[in-house]
Amino acid sequence: MADCEEHSDQIAQFCGVTGVESARAKLYLESAAWDLQLALASFYEETDESLERPSSRDPSPVNLQAPTRSSPTPERPKAPPRSSRIAGLADLTKDESGNEEEGQAFYAGGSERSGQQVLGPGKKQKDNFVVEVFKAAKKHGAQVLDAAAEPAEQRSSRN
């Protein structure tokens, strides 16, 4: 009897969090062995996947009847491993796109279904980046100073 009340409470909590009907909540909870956190994770994982893969066909009606206790719960196929969302320093030096002329894509305004993609300036070669910076500085009037030719007073005042 206590299990029935506990299950009803879990169904109510699941419905309150997700906004689905109680039959669907019961299905998720039963497939997760009545573990609320696992059932919620399963629900949101399937919801995210359905948003990522838009279907070109009309959705077919789904039978939401709970399985009987005598039949085993069907095992779900494992999702493919997701790529890491953490970038390291090696990822910054990697050239992922073969086109050097293409600029970085930026998202400009709007919500998730509107907005516009704007391309930045083309990528420059990084091989001579430091040399190019110094050339640009000289072009705009910077002067090359030799550390050995500097008076001793100026060197000590910088330290």
Longest dimension (CA), the chain: 93
CATH tag, 2-52? 1.10.8.10
Please give the pLDDT value at position 60. 52
Helix, strand or coil, per DSSP, at residue 82? coil
Q: How far apart (Å, rounded) are the C-alpha atoms in residues 96 and 51?
A: 26
Mean pLDDT of successive 10-residue stretches along the chain, which has 159 residues: 81 89 90 88 76 53 53 59 66 58 71 75 69 87 74 57
Q: How far apart (Å, rounded) are the C-alpha atoms in residues 14 and 24?
A: 10
Answer yes or no: are the C-beta atoms of 86 and 102 closer than 8 Å: no
Q: How many residues does the chain have?
A: 159
Look up the pTM and report it. Answer: 0.32
The amino acid present at 142, given as its one-letter code, is A
Please give the pLDDT value at position 59. 52
